[in-house]
C-alpha cells in the first residue's frame, strides 16, 4: 500500500500539469474537504472546547487532547457539570485509569473519594434522547441520497443513480447537527392528501472519538466527572444508555495509543501505570495565545454532501469498486486545527 | 462506570446465592460465550495460525501477535504466498512501519528492496469475492432474526418480536463461515410457485482486527508480504478493494497501542521508530510447546445465536435500552486462548 499512498500525497501537493487525454483523478474525501470554501468551515467557540493536558510522555513531549462539547439542546445537564468541574480545576491531579482495547480510554478520580464541587446537576435518563426540532437537520440520511428532513412519502423522493445505502442498523435514519452525528426515529404524518415523514426523536451516538459520561447502575447517569473516549469500533449499543457529551478533535492518539490496562475491563492494575491529568480547562479560560482553534466542515455545506458521497462511493484512484453505502461512523465530520498566521 | 463494571465482574466470579425474589440477571454477551458448551468451541489448526514475534517492549516484555488465516476458498492465493513467506523466514528482520490512528498498523520491508521468495502467485482482483457455495452459511443476517440461508420470500419468514435490525449499509446480507464474518449479495430464484432467495456472491470484510494485504495501484493486488491490521472503526470501504486474509486472535494491543506515525498516512518518519519484527511463523512450524492454541465459538452453535442476539439487544443489568440492532463488526466472533492443563 505504501507506493500508492505516497504517490497520492505527491500528486496532491505538486501541481502537475494534467494531460489532455487523461481526466483529472476523482478527488478523495479528504481532498474534497480540503478544497471546501473558507465560508463552509465553522469556527468552534472557545467556550465549547475542553482542553486536557496530560503529563508529558517519556520523552518530555506535551500531550494535549482537545474536545468539542456538544451543542444545545443535547446533553446540556452533563455539559453544565463539566463546565463547573473544569472551572473548579477538579480534574487537575486525576488520571487516565482505564484503557480497554477496541473500546474506551477513561479518566477521572482513581480514588473515587475526591469530593465533587457543589451544585452539580443530577440529570435524568430522559435526556439521553431529545425531541426533534424543525430545521435541526437539513437532510436526513437513510436509503438513497440525503433527503430533505421533511419529505412527502407519496410521491416517492426522486430516485438517484446509483442509489447509496445509508441505512443504520441502530436507527431509522441519521442526520448531522452542529458538527455531530445523530440517530433518529421517524414519524409519519398526514398533510392534505400526502403523508410526510420527518425525524421525531434524536440522540447523539458513539462513533470513534465520541466522549461519554461514565456512570454506575441505572438510574444513575453519571455526573460528568468520569469521562471516556471511544478508541475502537463504534460501540453503538451504548447509545441512549450513556450520555455522549462531545468528541475529540485533536490529540486522540495520546489516549488511543496508551498501553492497555491488564485488569478487568482494561483498568490499570498499578497506580504507576495511570497517566496523570495535569489540567482540564475550557479554552476560553486559557490565555488567548494558548487557546487551540478548531473548525469543522459545515454539515449543511455543499462540500460536506460531496465529501459524504465520496466516503460512501470511493472513486479516487486507489479504489476499484465503490461500496455504494456507508455507516454514519464511517462519515466523520471533517475538522481542522487553525494555526496563527 | 467503574463501580458497575467491577460489580459485574464480582458477580460473575463469585457464586452468590440468588434470592428467590430476584430473577437472575440476564447474561452479557461475554457471559453467554463463556458458558457455551465445550463442543461448541472449535480448535483452530496450527497450520492456520500465523505467529508474529515483535521485538520485546522497552521493559523487555515479549510481544506475540497471533493471526488466524482465512479458510478456503477465500483469499487462498494470497494465503499461499503468506505460507511461503513464513516458511522462507522472509519477515524476520522486517518491521512495523506505519501506524495510522483509527485505521491500520502495517508491517513489511521498509526498504522495499528485499527480494521476495520465488514462486509467489500473482492473484487477480476477481478473487476479492467468491461465488456462494450451498451450506457455506447456515444463517443469513438481514432485517429480523437470522434466517435459513435458503428461504422462500413468499410466504414471508415468520415475524419475530422484537424485530432486530441486522441490515448492513455495505451489503444486502451477511453471514459467518469458519469463524469469520462475510458480506453477501442475494439472488432471487423461482422454485415451483415460490421465490427463494439465497446468497450469491460473498466476500470477507474489514472489521476491527482484520488482516489485509497492502497493494499498489490496480491491477496490483499485493503479494502478501506487506500486511496490515485494522485498529479502528471498520473501514468497510476497503472491502472488495483489498484482500482480507485473516484476523488477529491475540496480542492486537501490541500493534494498536503503538505510537502513531507522524509522516503521511501514519508512516514512521525515523527508522528508529519502527518496531522490529523478529519472526513470523506458522504455529505448526514452531516447537510443540511454543505453539499458541486458540478456539472460536462455532458460528453454527446455539450459543453463538444467543450471543449475537445479546450483542444486538443488551439486556444485562447495566443497560436500560437494548438497541434492537447491530452491525456485523459489532458482533465479533468470540475466541479464547487455550492454555495447557
To the nearest whole angstrom, how far is the Cα of A1 from the nearest Cα of chain B?
4
Do B98 and A2 lie within an 8 Å CB cutoff? yes
pLDDT reported for residue B138: 87
Which chain A residue shows the shortest CA-CA distance from B232? A232
Strands in chain B per DSSP E: 41-43, 49-54, 63-69, 95-99, 104-108, 130-131, 139-140, 147-148, 151-152, 173-177, 180-191, 194-204, 210-213, 227-230, 244-250, 275-282, 294-297, 335-337
| Spatial CA neighbour of B67 closest among B57, B81, B82, B80 | B82
Do B320 and A217 lie within an 8 Å CB cutoff? no
pLDDT reported for residue B155: 52
Q: What pLDDT, in 10s, does the model give residues A297-308? A: 999 999 999 999
pLDDT reported for residue B298: 97
Peptide bond into B162 cis (omega under 30): yes
Nearest to A233 among B9, B108, B207 (CB): B207
CA distances (Å), A165 to each of A68, A168, A298, A311, A318, in order?
29, 9, 22, 12, 21
CA distances (Å), A300 to each of A42, A305, B107, B257, in order?
11, 8, 39, 35
Nearest to A252 among B101, B165, B326 (CB): B101
Do A1 and B167 lie within an 8 Å CB cutoff? no
Determine which helix (DSSP H) or strand (DSSP E) holds A200, and give its type and residue range.
strand A194-204
Secondary structure tally for chain B: helices H, strands E? 5, 18
Residues A144/A260, Cβ–Cβ less than 8 Å: no
DSSP codes, B98-141: EE-TTSEEEEE-TTS-SPPPTT-----GGGGSEE--TTS-SEEB
Mutate to test the interface with A, among B1, B34, B141 (most CBs of A within 10 A): B1
Answer left, alpha or beta for residue A89, where phi above 0 means left and psi between -120 and 50 means alpha. Answer: left
CA-CA-CA-CA torsion sign (B237, B241, B246, B250) = negative
| Spatial CA neighbour of B70 closest among B202, B254, B170 | B202
Residues B109 and B114: their CA atoms lie apart, in Å, by 7
* Per-chain mean pLDDT for chain B: 90
Q: Which residues pair with A168 in a beta bridge?
A: A171
Nearest to B240 among A9, A218, A321 (CB): A321
Do B232 and A166 lie within an 8 Å CB cutoff? no
Q: Residues near B168 by Cβ (< 8 Å), separated by ≥ 6?
A: A169, A325, B142, B174, B183, B327, B328
Residues A239/A202, Cβ–Cβ less than 8 Å: no
To the nearest whole angstrom, how far is the Cα of A56 from the nearest Cα of chain B?
14
Do B240 and A326 lie within an 8 Å CB cutoff? no
Which chain A residue shows the shortest CA-CA distance from B262? A253
Determine which helix (DSSP H) or strand (DSSP E) holds A95, and give its type and residue range.
strand A95-99
To the nearest whole angstrom, how far is the Cα of A282 from the nearest Cα of chain B?
24
Do A233 and B234 lie within an 8 Å CB cutoff? yes
Q: What pLDDT, in 10s, does the model give residues B104-161? A: 999 999 999 999 999 999 999 999 999 999 889 988 888 777 888 776 665 554 555 5
Do B2 and A267 lie within an 8 Å CB cutoff? yes
Residues B324 and A117: their CA atoms lie apart, in Å, by 38
Which chain A residue shows the shortest CA-CA distance from B242? A319
CA distances (Å), B157 to each of A270, B185, B283, in order?
53, 18, 44
Do A170 and B166 lie within an 8 Å CB cutoff? no
Do B218 and A320 lie within an 8 Å CB cutoff? yes
pLDDT beyond 50 at B180: yes
| Spatial CA neighbour of B152 closest among B199, B198, B195, B189 | B195
Nearest to A257 among B5, B208, B260 (CB): B260
Chain B residues whose CB is inside 8 A of the A128 CB are 321
Do B241 and A327 lie within an 8 Å CB cutoff? no
- If you ran DSSP here, which 8-state letter would residue A261 be given? P
Chain A residues whose CB is inside 8 A of the B260 CB are 253, 256-257
DSSP codes, A150-166: SEESSSPPPP-SS--B-
Report the percent of chain B where pLDDT is more than 70: 89
pLDDT reported for residue B341: 57
Provide the H-helix boundaries in chain A: 2-13, 29-34, 76-87, 253-256, 302-312
Residues B326/B146, Cβ–Cβ less than 8 Å: no
Do A169 and B170 lie within an 8 Å CB cutoff? no
Chain A residues whose CB is inside 8 A of the B253 CB are 101, 259-260
Burial readout B273-305 (b: 16 or more C-beta within 10 A, e: otherwise) = bbbebbebbbbeebeeeebbebbbbbbebebbb
Return phi, psi of residue B171, to 5°: -165, 165
In the predicted model, residues of chain A with pLDDT beneath 50 are: 1-19, 157
Residues B223 and B53: their CA atoms lie apart, in Å, by 21
To the nearest whole angstrom, how far is the Cα of A293 from the nearest Cα of chain B?
21
pLDDT reported for residue A121: 98
Return phi, psi of residue A44, to 5°: -90, 130
ipTM over 0.95: no
Nearest to B253 among A260, A264, A318 (CB): A260
Chain B residues whose CB is inside 8 A of the A99 CB are 257
Nearest to A326 among B169, B228, B323 (CB): B169
pLDDT reported for residue B102: 98
pLDDT reported for residue A14: 35
Structure confidence at residue B12 as a pLDDT band (50, 70, 90): very low
Average pLDDT over residues B250-262: 98
Q: Which residue has the cell 474537504?
A: A33
pLDDT reported for residue B20: 54
Q: Which domains does chain A have, with CATH numbers?
A: 24-122+208-341 (2.40.100.10), 130-204 (no CATH)
Residues A210 and A295: their CA atoms lie apart, in Å, by 17
pLDDT reported for residue A24: 81
- If you ran DSSP here, which 8-state letter would residue A63 be given? E
To the nearest whole angstrom, how far is the Cα of A192 from the nearest Cα of chain B?
32
Residues B156 and A339: their CA atoms lie apart, in Å, by 59
Chain A residues whose CB is inside 8 A of the B259 CB are 253, 257
Which chain A residue shows the shortest CA-CA distance from B329? A233
Return phi, psi of residue A212, to 5°: -130, 175
Do B233 and A234 lie within an 8 Å CB cutoff? yes
To the nearest whole angstrom, how far is the Cα of B192 from the nearest Cα of chain A?
32
Residues A73 and A203: their CA atoms lie apart, in Å, by 11
Chain A residues whose CB is inside 8 A of the B319 CB are 237, 241
Return phi, psi of residue B194, to 5°: -110, 155
Neighbours of A314 (CB within 10 A): 20
Q: What pLDDT, in 10s, does the model give residues B309-322? A: 999 999 999 999 99
Return phi, psi of residue B254, to 5°: -75, -15
Chain B residues whose CB is inside 8 A of the A265 CB are 5-6, 9
Q: What pLDDT, in 10s, does the model give residues B188-226? A: 888 777 778 889 999 999 999 999 999 999 999 999 999
Which chain B residue shows the shortest CA-CA distance from A268? B2
The angle at the Cα of B197, spanning B191 to B199, to the nearest 5 degrees, equals 130
Neighbours of B265 (CB within 10 A): 17
To the nearest whole angstrom, how far is the Cα of B208 from the nearest Cα of chain A?
6
Residues A107/A95, Cβ–Cβ less than 8 Å: yes
pLDDT beyond 80 at B2: no
Peptide bond into B208 cis (omega under 30): no
Amino acid at each position: 500500500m505504501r507506493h500508492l499512498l505516497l504517490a497520492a500525497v505527491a500528486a496532491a501537493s505538486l501541481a502537475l500539469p494534467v494531460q489532455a487525454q487523461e481526466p483529472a483523478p476523482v478527488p478523495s474525501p479528504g481532498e474534497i474537504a480540503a478544497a471546501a470554501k473558507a465560508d463552509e468551515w465553522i469556527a468552534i467557540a472557545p467556550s465549547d472546547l475542553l482542553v486536557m493536558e496530560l503529563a508529558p510522555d517519556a520523552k518530555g513531549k506535551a500531550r494535549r487532547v482537545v474536545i468539542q462539547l456538544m451543542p444545545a439542546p443535547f446533553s446540556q445537564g452533563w455539559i453544565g457539570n463539566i463546565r463547573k468541574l473544569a472551572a473548579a480545576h477538579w480534574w487537575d491531579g486525576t488520571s487516565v485509569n482505564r484503557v480497554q482495547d477496541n473500546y474506551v480510554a477513561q479518566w477521572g478520580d482513581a480514588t473515587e473519594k475526591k469530593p465533587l464541587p457543589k451544585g452539580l446537576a443530577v440529570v435524568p435518563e430522559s435526556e439521553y434522547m431529545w425531541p426533534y426540532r424543525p430545521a435541526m437537520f437539513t437532510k436526513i440520511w437513510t436509503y438513497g441520497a440525503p433527503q430533505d428532513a421533511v419529505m412527502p412519502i407519496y410521491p416517492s423522493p426522486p430516485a438517484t443513480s446509483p442509489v447509496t445505502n445509508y441505512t443504520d442498523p441502530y436507527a431509522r435514519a441519521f442526520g448531522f447537527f452542529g458538527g455531530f452525528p445523530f440517530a433518529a426515529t421517524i414519524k409519519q404524518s398526514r398533510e392534505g392528501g400526502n403523508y410526510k415523514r420527518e425525524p421525531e426523536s434524536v440522540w447523539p451516538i458513539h462513533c470513534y472519538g465520541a466522549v461519554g459520561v461514565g456512570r454506575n447502575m441505572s438510574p444513575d447517569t453519571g455526573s460528568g466527572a468520569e469521562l471516556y473516549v471511544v478508541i475502537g469500533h463504534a460501540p453503538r449499543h451504548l447509545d441512549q444508555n450513556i450520555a455522549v457529551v462531545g468528541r475529540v478533535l485533536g490529540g486522540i492518539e495520546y489516549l488511543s495509543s496508551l498501553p492497555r490496562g491488564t485488569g478487568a475491563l482494561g483498568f490499570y492494575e498499578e497506580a504507576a501505570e495511570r497517566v496523570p491529568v495535569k489540567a482540564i480547562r475550557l479554552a476560553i479560560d486559557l490565555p488567548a495565545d494558548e487557546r487551540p482553534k478548531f473548525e469543522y466542515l459545515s454539515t449543511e455545506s455543499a462540500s460536506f454532501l460531496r465529501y459524504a458521497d465520496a466516503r460512501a462511493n470511493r472513486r479516487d484512484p486507489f479504489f476499484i469498486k465503490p461500496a455504494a453505502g456507508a455507516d454514519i461512523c464511517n462519515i466523520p465530520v471533517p475538522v481542522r486545527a487553525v494555526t496563527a498566521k
